[in-house]
Amino acid sequence: MVQNKKDGNRMLLIEDNGGGMDPDRMRHCMSLGYSMKSKMADTIGQYGNGFKTSTMRLGADVIVFSRSGGKPGKSPTQSIGLLSYTFLRNTGMEDIVVPMLDYEKRDGWDKIIRSSTDDWDKNLETIIEWSPFSSEVDLLKQFNPMRGQGTRIIVYNLWEDDQGLLELDFDSDPHDIQIRGVNRDEKNIQMAKQYPNSRHFLTYRHSLRSYASILYLRIASGFRIILRGKDVEHHNIVNDMMMTQEVTYRPMPGADGVPKDSNMVATVKIGFVKDAKSHIDVQGFNVYHKNRLIKPFWRLWHAPGSDGRGVIGVLEANFVEPAHDKQGFERTIVLSRLEGRLIQMQKNYWCSLCHKIGYAPRRNKKAIARETSPDYPSPQSKHKSSAKSSEKSNGVGHLTDKHDSRPRRSRNEPSSLEPSTSAEDDSDEDVQVVRPKRSQPGGHQKNTNGKDAEDDSDEDVQVVRPKRSQPGGHQKNTNGKDGSRVLHSPPGFGQRVAEQVCSPGGSLKRVTRSSRSKGDDDETGSMLPDNLTESLEQLKAENRELKERLRRKEEEILGDLLRDLQQERERSKSLEAQLQESNSKIEELNKEQESLIDIFTEERQRRDMEEENLRKKLKGASNTIQELLDRVQVLEKTKSANRR
């Protein structure tokens, strides 16, 4: 930060000790839309608008000083250029005029006159009037810190916010340049002091020092960034991660426009931020392109609740094209595939390891089962222990489906679970209760194909009631007043049981029936109702949990749909902007074509007029010649007559 000596206002100074620019390259840099980078390898500039758009966003005016060591066989040069919105607006210029001064080193720094001395003097006068410097001597002093070569850019008349304050904040930190407004959050600033490993996520939006420290993935030896007199320390986001994993992503070429290129590969490093156990909302991927950060902490998975929290990643994706402002990527098929793959990576990582940082285990049972830690039992051991405890509490070993000690029924034998279609037996002794399968950790259970399946409802309880013999052989209808189904059961089941039946309204009712077996009522009559009550409460809790999961899933799908809709809207806006730009170019070309036609028409008319004039002059000259010849003949005749 420097001060303008003319008005005392603050200015922004950016300088480097690079190769500098000769007069021709200086003019290319100051010209709108010019770029030489598009055909050069390993560069990210393609559009030639970076200097103009960035400086004009910071302030109204910019002046550039650049000194070049010169090409082999040529003398060193230095140039001064002014791009001033204030000058163009106040003078009413219709075209963008960029006054420039060039010097070449011979005995001293001599002027380079490109057109005329008057133009040189006029450019110097304009620069002195509209720049922070009062004379040519002050302008030339700006080259002194460069020594052999370099470039010095000064942005002045910096923009202000609605309160009349500069958008750039030079006062909060003497060694930093920050911005005011919506990107600055005092809460995040305080959190950055409490959580140092999340500091860059919390501060990169408003702090130039924080952003510059992660701007490059790798720093070459001897390369330095000095901000307000203090070096910017390079920071690798990977150092803020724990439980790090590496995943190699290689997009598959196909018929949808993805080219076949062996260089289309990216190594994604993903892990939890070291402050993740504090459950702060830090997540996103830092995507670099040719060593330059394009998308910092790019959040792709917009899950409801806390899912995905704490997961960050780093990758270098050289196969996707950056946008012209270097703040995003061009919307292509390759980018869409990369987005989908990164979302899947984050989901898999989170579901596998979120329990290690204090969250409840998610439904990715396979990943959790691979844990070998002695203090984290496997799902199988949990299931076995729960089954054994259920057997002990009920006092009947054959009440659970997986631990039924009775012999299995053959295929041809009638199943005891077939629904009765005729009547109901009055006997209370033939009662069988089929208890629901317990869901595996994470809400899964085994289906008939041996694959994992989600237990979508905890109300899946079957109660099998026996046929009851009526006196005289008559049987009651299966459809009772409550509308429940009546099922067969084998005899000999003499326990006190509870059953759930579905009422016509769809709710569950609990019915307790006692057997007529003697001797068992005293032993189990007081135990089963309490245990079954606990089971019912557990089923209700699981039901609520499944409903919550269903709600989260619906919100996640809705969030994905909204995100896709927003992306399509942005893409539509981009296409509309491109269409408008193309239409404007077409209009300009049409105007140029019309002007050229007018010029050619005028030129043809002028040529025809000149041709007609020449014909008239030629005809007049022919007449004059003929008259002269006639006079000569008359004179010759007169002369011959006199001789005679």
Same domain, 196 and 318: no
Provide the pLDDT for residue 593: 86
Instruction: Give a yes or no: residue 297 inside a domain.
Output: yes
Same domain, 184 and 111: no
Residues 6+ apart with CB under 8 A from 243: 271, 272, 353, 356
Instruction: Give a yes or no: residue 387 inside a domain.
Output: no
Instruction: Give a yes or no: residue 403 inside a domain.
Output: no
Same domain, 230 and 248: no
pLDDT reading at 420 higher than 50: no
Q: Which domain holds residue 583?
A: 565-603
pLDDT higher for 562 or 404?
Answer: 562
| Rounded Cα gap, residues 10 and 228, in angstroms | 14
Same domain, 138 and 247: no
CA atoms within 13 A on the CB side of 142: 27
Instruction: Give a yes or no: residue 405 inside a domain.
Output: no
Provide the pLDDT for residue 529: 60
Structure tokens at 23: 């007069």
Last residue of a domain, one of 157, 180, 198: 157
Q: Report in angstroms the alpha-carbon separations of 610 from 434, 618, 621.
A: 112, 12, 16
Which position has the token pair 């994992």?
452
Same domain, 108 and 26: yes
Same domain, 62 and 184: no
Mean pLDDT, range 594-602, rounded to an integer:
84
Q: Which of 190, 155, 191 is nearest to 58 (CA)?
A: 155
Same domain, 167 and 267: no
Q: What is the pTM of this model?
A: 0.55
Last residue of a domain, one of 157, 179, 202: 157
Same domain, 49 and 60: yes
Relative to beta strand 10-16, strand 150-158 is: antiparallel
pLDDT reading at 280 higher than 70: yes
Alpha-helical runs (H) found in 11-69: 23-30, 50-58
| Rounded Cα gap, residues 644 and 102, in angstroms | 85
pLDDT reading at 301 higher than 80: yes
Q: Which of 463, 376, 461 is nearest to 416 (CA)?
A: 463
Alpha-helical runs (H) found in 206-273: 208-213
Mean pLDDT, range 408-434, rounded to an integer:
39
Tally of domains in the chain: 4
Same domain, 16 and 121: yes
Structure tokens at 323: 């946008």
Same domain, 186 and 303: no
Instruction: Give a yes or no: residue 190 inside a domain.
Output: yes
Same domain, 291 and 345: yes
Q: Which long-range contacts (CB under 8 A, 24 or more apart) does 516-522 make?
A: 516/428, 516/429, 517/429, 520/494, 520/495, 520/496, 521/496
**3-class secondary-structure state, position 407:** coil
Residue type at 498 in one-letter notation: A
Provide the pLDDT for residue 368: 44
Same domain, 125 and 165: no
Instruction: Give a yes or no: residue 429 inside a domain.
Output: no
Q: Which of 530, 488, 487, 483 is nearest to 509 (CA)?
A: 483
Mean pLDDT of the chain: 76
Instruction: Give a yes or no: residue 475 inside a domain.
Output: no
Q: What is the CATH number of the domain that holds 312?
A: 3.30.230
Contact 314, 266 (CB under 8 A): no
Instruction: Give a yes or no: residue 373 inside a domain.
Output: no
Q: What is the residue-wise DSSP string for 80-113?
A: EEEEEHHHHHHHT-SS----EEEEEESSSEEE--
Contact 435, 400 (CB under 8 A): yes
pLDDT digits (tens, 9 = 90+) for 352-365: 999 999 988 876 44
Q: Which of 199, 334, 164 is nearest to 264 (CA)?
A: 334
